[in-house]
Amino acid sequence: MVSIKVGDTLPQGEFTHVPYTAELEQKLACGMPVKLSTDEWKGKKVVIFAVPGAFTPTCHTNHLPPYIEKFDEFKAKGVDVIAVLAANDPFVMSGWGRFEGVKDKILTLSDTNAAWSKSLGMSIDLTERGMGVRTARFAIIVDDLVVKYVEIEPAPGVTVSSAEAVLSKL
């Protein structure tokens, strides 16, 4: 059951990611993972969208690409940070971001073991599919650490967590 709602303060979380650098354009570079805390988003408008897995069909073709395509629209609405979240490790998330051409536009964050997502009641157990516990598909808009929008997908597919849906709530 989702435990976060509009008006709540975003629960503290820590993620791992590989910051974009020009060296990552080289296929042999992997980068060094660093920690990122939700505390770093104080005073910022942040869009977080979560996917069950990098390179999985819906996430790879229908969820991340529209956020990349509409990046300028998000910026025009005052968004400081866009982050995609998944339980994949930070190297997979970085590789996915590089494959998709994200560069430094969208943070590709690893929610190890879906720990933060679980704490929000927004994880999904895909063990029967051989994928373990993952982040559910959801979106959150935060302004100065206050939740302004939060929706979890009610069924397979991308609706309430889509770039279009989130843009309409900014």
Look at the block and give the residue holding tokens 């069909």: 57
Which SS3 state, helix, strand or coil, does residue 114 take? helix
pLDDT in tens, 20-79: 988 888 877 888 999 999 999 999 999 999 999 888 767 667 789 999 999 999 999 999
20 within a domain of the structure (yes/no): no
13 within a domain of the structure (yes/no): no
Span 1-26, mean pLDDT? 91
85 within a domain of the structure (yes/no): yes
What does the pLDDT read at residue 63?
86
CA 33 to chain centre: 16
pLDDT in tens, 92-124: 999 999 999 999 999 999 998 999 999 999 988
Residue 95 in tokens: 């590789």
Domain that holds residue 78: 35-169
Domain with residue 162: its CATH number is 3.40.30.10
112 within a domain of the structure (yes/no): yes
Stronger pLDDT, 135 or 134, i.e. the higher one: 135
What does the pLDDT read at residue 61?
73
Report how far apart, in Å, the C-alpha atoms of 57 and of each of 2, 121, 125 are.
Answer: 25, 24, 17
3 within a domain of the structure (yes/no): no
What does the pLDDT read at residue 66?
96
Give the integer Cα–Cα distance in Å for 93 and 90: 5
What does the pLDDT read at residue 54?
87
Q: What residues are labeled active site?
A: 59
Decide if pLDDT at 151 tops 80.
yes
Give the integer Cα–Cα distance in Å for 135 and 120: 10
30 within a domain of the structure (yes/no): no
Portion of the chain with pLDDT greater than 70, in percent: 96
18 within a domain of the structure (yes/no): no
Domain count for the chain, please give it: 1
11 within a domain of the structure (yes/no): no
Q: Which helix (H) or strand (E) holds 75?
A: helix 71-76
For the chain, the average pLDDT equals 92
Span 130-136, mean pLDDT? 79
Decide if pLDDT at 127 tops 80.
no
* Of 157, 158, 143, 153, the residue nearest 47 (C-alpha): 143
What does the pLDDT read at residue 60?
67
